[in-house]
Amino acid sequence: MLEELKQRVYEANMQLPKHGLVTFTWGNVSEIDRESGIFAIKPSGVDYEKLTPEDMVLMDLDGNKVEGKYNPSSDTPTHLELYKAFPKIGGIVHTHSPWATSWAQAGRGIPCYGTTHADYMYGEIPCVRNLTKEEIDEAYEKNTGVLIVEYFRDKDYVGMPAVLCKNHGPFTWGKDGAEAVHNAVVLEEVAKMAARTEMINPRVKTAPQELMDKHYYRKHGANAYYGQKE
């Protein structure tokens, strides 16, 4: 069932090694069919070269496997919490891409130093805290999702489609799996440029608010004018 969804999720997963975002089997993409409430996700620990569309695992939002011969990605409970709490998203990516993960390991959000960042993400890309020992022991992957959801409770998860988990790595999302991958690639580039920016000028300041606003809102929202009319 949901063959087109599995095909899309397979293709989105294959974009991760292509863009240099994953090593070995680290990383996963999922996409949800909102009508049925079923999402497709990469199986756990299967090499990218061996992956086929048929290998994608179908899950429901109660955490039951609906279809698939493999176990789903171990990060599935994190994806599930994000789908339940963020109704406007349709795809999620998790990687250990090195530049974004370096910021996560340093325990720092990524300040907005330029328009590449501002075009896609509004303001500082947040880094959420470590889970407590109790949270890790109770349900590590689920509580990672709960923590992200808690952070965004009073914030705009559409304007900020990325988060860093301290000492771990990034999650990104979008309207579908392909857009979530796109945002993961942008995040990695922005993370790399921000690190170099601070290396060149350790006293650098964030980009001016009016410049960030101009770049974000010319691409997003009611008055967007970037690109071609559909």
Q: Is 62 a catalytic residue?
A: no
Q: Going by C-beta distance under 8 Å and a sequence separation of 6 or more, which residues neighbour residue 153? A: none
Q: Which residue has the tokens 């075009």?
A: 119
* Token code pair at residue 198: 């601070």
Q: How far apart, in whole angstroms, are the C-alpha atoms of residue 224 and residue 58?
A: 36
Q: Would you say 38 and 2 are in contact if contact means Cβ atoms under 8 Å apart? A: yes
Q: How far apart, in whole angstroms, are the C-alpha atoms of residue 173 and residue 91?
A: 5
Q: Is 113 a catalytic residue?
A: no
Of 48, 55, 119, 217, the active-site residue reads 119
Of 60, 137, 156, 226, the active-site residue reads 226
- How many Cβ atoms are within 10 Å of 25's Cβ, its own excluded? 17
Q: Would you say 168 and 1 are in contact if contact means Cβ atoms under 8 Å apart? A: no
Q: How far apart, in whole angstroms, are the C-alpha atoms of residue 5 and residue 9?
A: 6
Cα dist from 185 to 36, 172, 216, whole Å: 29, 10, 17
Active-site residue set: 119, 226
